[in-house]
Amino acid sequence: MVVLNEQTLVLNRHWVPIGTTSVRTALCLLHRRTARAVSPDDYSVHDFDSWACLRVAEEEPCIRTVSLRLRVPEVVLLTRYDKYPQHRVTFSRRNIFRRDHYACQYCGARPRVDELSVDHVVPRSRGGQSTWTNCVLSCLRCNRKKGNRRMEEAGLRLLRSAVEPPWTPCISIPLGKRKTSWQQFVSREYWEVELDG
């Protein structure tokens, strides 16, 4: 059933969006009573039994079982979880590529992804750390030119300073996955997130 792999918005118990999950997982959370389904029309909250009793319109996506047609929960509210999304972007190779827009930070070239590498501005052999401020994308040509030297020694300079990207909401919602029922729970900034997919 393809509908079970669709995405459901997850809210913490304070009604703050903290992520998405599959419909399959959302239904498991409902059944285990760790979450309640939210009806986007009137904000009513339902446990599994009351959700199963709701009428399903003909054109509405649903899950069919032998004995019932179950509405697809598009938003669930966790009953006990009250934490908030992480407020820092995770330092990772993938996020360095995103921060640097897949471009060499020494010459500005935009080669294929497999022709880019993460370079330590201050080489690790000289005490450089793997941090946001010391790692940048480099094309293979610039990386070979720099080698195990500092930028000044290699005659290179950064086009942009290496900085930690500002925090953005951790929910990344690809264009094709966005549901109109989520708009009342998720601010505009969430819809425009580029990091974390």
Domains, the chain, in order of start with CATH, read 2-85+169-191 (no CATH), 93-154 (1.10.30.50)
Q: Which two tokens stand for residue 33?
A: 């009573």
Q: Report the alpha-carbon distance of residue 99 to residue 94 in Å, rounded.
A: 9
Express each pLDDT in 144-178 by its tens digit: 999 999 999 999 999 999 999 876 544 556 556 67
DSSP H or E stretch at residue 71:
strand 69-71
The pLDDT of residue 143: 95
Express each pLDDT in 99-158 by its tens digit: 999 999 999 999 999 999 999 999 999 999 999 999 999 999 999 999 999 999 999 999
Mean pLDDT of the chain: 87
Residue percentage of the chain with pLDDT more than 90: 62
Residue found under tokens 């992480």: 86
- The answer on pLDDT for 1 being more than 70 is no
The residue among 184 and 153 whose pLDDT is bigger is 153
Contact 85, 170 (CB under 8 A): yes
Residues in the chain: 197
Express each pLDDT in 43-91 by its tens digit: 999 999 999 999 888 888 889 888 888 999 999 999 998 887 666 788 9
Which of the four pLDDT bands, split at 50, 70 and 90, describes residue 11?
Answer: very high
The pLDDT of residue 174: 58
